[in-house]
Structure 1
Amino acid sequence: MYFIIIAVIVILDQLTKYFIQAGMELNSSAPLIDGVFHLTYIHNYGAAFSILQNQTILLILLPLAVTTAVLVYLARKRKTEHWMLLLSMSFIVAGGIGNLIDRIGNGYVVDFFDIRVFPIFNVADISVCVGCGLLILFMFVVEPKIAKEKKKAEEQ
């Protein structure tokens, strides 16, 4: 199931980027809610918030290594780990793959969601953020609850 989720997110990410590239001129913007939410087609040569500009090799090798490690972990632990941990990792790795496809194929990432008060982003970025949110929720809410229940069961 987790690999299907990854595939669906990667396909959605790549399709949205394809349609943006096919339908808009680079650096053009189309308001959906004027002054609030626009589609703005840009090329991002850096990482989050445009850090590490033009460090393409690093921005390919590091995510490639992390993505590979997480995919191996998912394959090995998909039946034994908590579903929320695996889902969070699936969202993170899907976003990583989506942006890696761009970076390897083009040397940049296509970004287009523009809410005007935040850097422009894409579906892969949303996926990574949702995954990180789920991971934080798992680490601070679910995992302590599991540990408490396990400790309680051991004491009986």
Structure 2
Amino acid sequence: MTIPASADGSSVGREAERRDGVVVRFRPSWRSVAVAGAAAVVAVLVDIVTKWLADTRLPGAPVDLGIGRLQLSYNTGVAFSLGDGLPTWAVLGLAGVITSGVLVAIVAGWLRPPVPAGLVLGGAVANIVDRAGDGAVTDFLWLGWFPTFNLADTAITLGVLALLWASWRTESSTGTGTEQKSADQGRPPSDGTS
């Protein structure tokens, strides 16, 4: 059902369901789930290949890139070396719970657009797969002012930023932000006769 976002009849989206003027849930589009899944698979494959290249080509031979360098390191902590020294089972468990939550949110239709959601999922899965082998994640991108990271970390970060941006744009274009809520508070409830 298409939900009118305002009196002018503009639409919020086909997946929203409305009861008594309130959006109660989003039904997932299987096309969106497939697109998110494809983005996740691409993120995992690219990360696996680049980590393999880093493991085989970079040991003892960093490559200067001008703005940083390709430099092999191994991270036993969580994102960007935080929590270094935590037991592997704890890091894998935490990553598994977060990844499961992201997967549920994608299938439920809560995370949109699908490509950034898939990047977050793919990056998380890629780092879990890498860590499961030896308890550490292969990192190889070093900028000098930031902890060493990998393409899975990049996929997660860019995906989260794109999801936040899309959420902000959706709220500002549909009037579901604070301005709309404030305006709605002063209106009497509709009896459905208009």
- Coarse TM-score class (shorter-chain normalised): 0.7 to 0.9
- 2: distance between equivalents of 1:133 and 1:144? 16
Q: What's the TM-score once normalised by structure 2's chain length?
A: 0.67
2:41 corresponds to which residue?
Answer: 7
Structure with a larger share of its residues in helix: 1
| 1:58 corresponds to 2:86 | no
SS of the residue 1:5 aligns to: helix
- How far residue 63 of structure 1 moved from its aligned partner, in angstroms, is 1.3
1:87 to 1:38, Cα distance in 2 relative to 1, 3 A: same
Question: Equivalences for 1:111-150 in 2 at 5 Å?
Answer: 111-148=139-176
- How far residue 73 of structure 1 moved from its aligned partner, in angstroms, is 2.9
- 2: distance between equivalents of 1:15 and 1:125? 14
Q: Which runs of 5+ in 2 are unaligned?
A: 1-34, 182-189
- 2: distance between equivalents of 1:59 and 1:144? 37
Amino acid at match of 1:7: V
Q: Which runs of 4+ in 1 moved over 3 A?
A: none
Question: Equivalences for 1:48-127 in 2 at 5 Å?
Answer: 48-55=79-86, 56-77=88-109, 83-84=112-113, 86-127=114-155
Conservation of the 8 A alpha-carbon contact between 2:70 and 2:141: yes
- How far residue 16 of structure 1 moved from its aligned partner, in angstroms, is 0.1
- 1: distance between equivalents of 2:115 and 2:65? 31
1:23 corresponds to which residue?
Answer: 57
Q: Which runs of 5+ in 1 are unaligned?
A: none
- How far residue 48 of structure 1 moved from its aligned partner, in angstroms, is 2.3
Kindly indicate whether structure 1 or structure 2 has the higher relative contact order, using CA contacts under 8 Å at least 6 residues apart.
Answer: 1
- 1: distance between equivalents of 2:41 and 2:174? 29
1:21 to 1:29, Cα distance in 2 relative to 1, 3 A: same
Q: Could you say what the CA RMSD is over the residues aligned between the two structures, in angstroms?
A: 2.5
- 1: distance between equivalents of 2:129 and 2:111? 29
Q: What's the TM-score once normalised by structure 1's chain length?
A: 0.82
